[in-house]
């Protein structure tokens, strides 16, 4: 099996082209990464039957590697450089630290507009809010649906903030994509392969949240579905996993997942300290820790009146606490050499 071809960084262009032509002739696509020492050519497609022997004797080829993992396109071996995600006018990369904030659910125009203006004035760069809510109980508030999307659209147009919102089902991708700058796949849907393939066929960035019982390997395999379908604009989001203690925290925020994912994959990594802890007072300390552990951004729940929120009020920050969050994480962001 041949997945990656490593070539000498100083070899002539015609040698590189010869390898690329061969790969394409065999019906595969190519991902080319140029470094000064090495050139890395990733082979895209089903490579199970492709022999390493095909490439070893091409001039300039140093090594041919097979990836014996459940995923390949998401790996750093395949794509060494960090992927940059473009969401509206916002760039998610290894230089910035990006904060997405807003209520759990879209409840009203006023709620969304006031929140959007506040977070925008305090370094929030992306507005979050669910119109379609995956709730544990079907009797809980399940979101405003299309009306919620219309509110998001208005607030986005008025404030210029890009919007992230959840999509629950493949047949709803089209209408959600009409508004969303980032499509959110929630923890409960991480394994929904048809949904992953469907968002993979759009060119809209996707934030994939880690399932609360998912291993890191399963998480990356699910991201692979999206990339395999053609969309490499994917953000991974650690949002806490289930452990044995539900008395003091709702989930256990797996901070170690951050450096692991950054090493294993080229995709940006966000942290959701709101769902990750389930407690308002834990959001700021865990956000500081997430920045220090190397995250690329946060997605945080903020509500003008958390006590009146229709979902997740107990973990939502007030405006004052959001301001405090930004103040407290900014020095950490600078220590990590990033721009807020
Ligand atoms: C949410 O972001 O409101 C949400 C439901 O998150 P998760 O899928 O991580 O539970
Ligand atoms: Mn929520």
CATH number, domain containing residue 57 = 3.30.70.1140
Among the atoms of ligand 1, which is closest to the Cα of residue 187? 8
Q: CA dist 151 to 106, 110, 146, 168, 302, Å?
A: 8, 9, 9, 18, 17
Contact between 129 and 103 under an 8 Å Cβ cutoff? The reply is yes
Distance separating alpha carbons of residues 237 and 270, to the nearest angstrom: 5
Domain that holds residue 173: 85-335
Mean pLDDT of the chain: 97
Distance (Å, rounded) from C-alpha 61 to C-alpha 202? 35
Q: How far is the CA of 275 from the centre of ligand 1 (A)?
A: 7
Q: What is the pLDDT of residues 121-152, one digit of tens each?
A: 999 999 999 999 999 999 999 999 999 999 99
Report the number of distinct structural domains present in the chain. 2
pLDDT band of 60, cuts 50, 70, 90: very high
Residues linked to residue 126 through DSSP beta bridges, in sequence order? 100
Asked if 15 and 141 sit in the same domain, the reply is no
User: Is 14 in the same domain as 113?
Assistant: no
How far is it, in rounded angstroms, from Cα 239 to Cα 216? Answer: 12
**Does 191 lie in the same domain as 56?**
no
174 domain residue, yes or no:
yes
Axis crossing angle, helix 319-335 with helix 109-121, rounded to the nearest 10: 30
Query: Going by CA atoms, what residue is nearest to atom 8 of ligand 1?
Result: 186
Mean pLDDT of 145-172: 98
Ligand 1: which of 130, 254, 298 to mutate, judged by most atoms within 8 Å of the beta carbon?
Answer: 130
Q: Taking residues 54-77, report their average pLDDT.
A: 94
Q: What is the per-residue pLDDT across 69-84, written as a single tens digit (0 to 9) for each?
A: 899 999 999 999 999 9
13 and 104 both lie in a single domain: no
Dig out the tokens for 305 from the structure.
């009146």
Asked if pLDDT for residue 292 goes beyond 90, the answer is yes
What's the gap in Å between 93 CA and the centre of ligand 2? 25
What pLDDT is stored for residue 101 in this prediction? Answer: 98
Q: Does 186 contact ligand 1 (Cβ within 6 A)?
A: yes
Residue linked to tokens 């998401």 = 74
Question: Does residue 80 sit within a domain?
Answer: no
**Residue 69: per-residue pLDDT:** 87
Burial class (CB in 10 A: 0-12, 13-18, 19+), 35: exposed
pLDDT value at residue 88: 94
Task: For strands 38-44 and 85-87, give the pairing.
Answer: unpaired
Same domain assignment for residues 133 and 204: yes
CB 266 within 8 A of CB 235: no
Q: How confident is the model at residue 236 (pLDDT cuts 50, 70, 90)?
A: very high
Share of the chain above pLDDT 90, in %: 96
Residue count of the chain, please give it: 340
Within a domain: 74: no
Same domain, 167 and 294: yes
Question: Please, which residues have CB less than 5 A from ligand 2, an ion?
Answer: 104, 312
- Give the integer Cα–Cα distance in Å for 57 and 114: 63
Judge whether residue 41 has pLDDT over 90. Answer: yes
What spacing in Å lies between the alpha carbon of 171 and ligand 1's midpoint? 20
pLDDT for 246 equals 84
Q: What confidence tier does 189 reach under pLDDT thresholds 50, 70, 90?
A: very high
Q: Give the Cα separation of 205 and 199 in Å (integer).
A: 9
- C-beta separation of 267 from 74 below 8 A: yes
Nearest CA residue ID for atom 6, ligand 1: 186
Pair 165, 152: CB distance under 8 Å: yes
User: What is residue 182's predicted lDDT score, i.e. its pLDDT?
Assistant: 98
Of the bound ligands, which one is closest to the alpha carbon of residue 312? 2
Same domain, 213 and 94: yes
- 126 and 296 Cβ atoms separated by less than 8 Å: no
Q: Is the pLDDT of residue 68 over 90?
A: no
238 and 171 inside one domain: yes
Q: Evaluate whether residue 340 is within a structural domain.
A: no
CB 260 within 8 A of CB 225: no
The angle subtended at Cα 210 by Cα 209 and Cα 216, nearest 5°, is: 140
Q: β-pairing, 126-128 with 98-102?
A: parallel
For residue 76, tell me if it sits in a domain.
Answer: no
């Amino acid at each position: 099996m041949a997945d990656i071809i490593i070539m000498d960084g100083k070899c002539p262009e015609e040698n590189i082209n010869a390898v690329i032509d061969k790969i394409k002739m065999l019906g595969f696509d190519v991902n080319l990464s140029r470094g000064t020492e090495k050139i890395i050519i990733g082979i895209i497609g089903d490579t199970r039957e492709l022999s390493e022997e095909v490439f070893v004797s091409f001039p300039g080829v140093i090594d041919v590697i097979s990836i014996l993992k459940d995923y390949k396109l998401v790996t750093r071996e395949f794509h060494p450089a960090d992927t940059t995600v473009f969401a509206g006018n916002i760039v998610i990369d290894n230089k910035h630290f990006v904060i997405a904030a807003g209520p759990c659910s879209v409840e009203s125009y006023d709620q969304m507009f006031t929140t959007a203006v506040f977070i925008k004035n305090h370094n929030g760069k992306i507005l979050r809010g669910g119109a379609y809510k995956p709730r544990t109980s079907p009797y809980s508030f399940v979101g405003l649906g299309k009306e919620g999307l219309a509110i998001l659209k208005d607030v986005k147009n008025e404030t210029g903030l890009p919007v992230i919102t959840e999509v629950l089902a493949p047949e709803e991708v089209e209408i959600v994509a009409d508004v969303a700058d980032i499509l959110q796949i929630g923890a409960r849907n991480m394994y929904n392969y048809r949904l992953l393939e469907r968002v993979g066929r759009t060119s809209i960035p996707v934030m994939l949240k880690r399932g609360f019982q998912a291993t890191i390997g399963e998480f990356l395999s699910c991201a692979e579905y999206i990339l395999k379908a053609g969309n490499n604009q994917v953000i991974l989001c650690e949002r806490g996993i289930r452990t044995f203690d539900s008395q003091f925290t709702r989930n256990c925020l797996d901070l170690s997942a951050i450096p692991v994912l950054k090493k294993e994959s080229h995709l940006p990594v966000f942290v959701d300290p709101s769902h990750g802890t389930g407690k308002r007072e834990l959001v700021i300390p865990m956000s500081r820790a997430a920045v220090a552990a190397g995250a690329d951004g946060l997605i945080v729940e903020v509500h003008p009146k958390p006590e009146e929120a229709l979902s997740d009020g107990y973990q939502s920050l007030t405006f004052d606490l959001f301001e405090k969050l930004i103040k407290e994480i900014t020095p950490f962001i600078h220590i990590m050499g990033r721009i807020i």
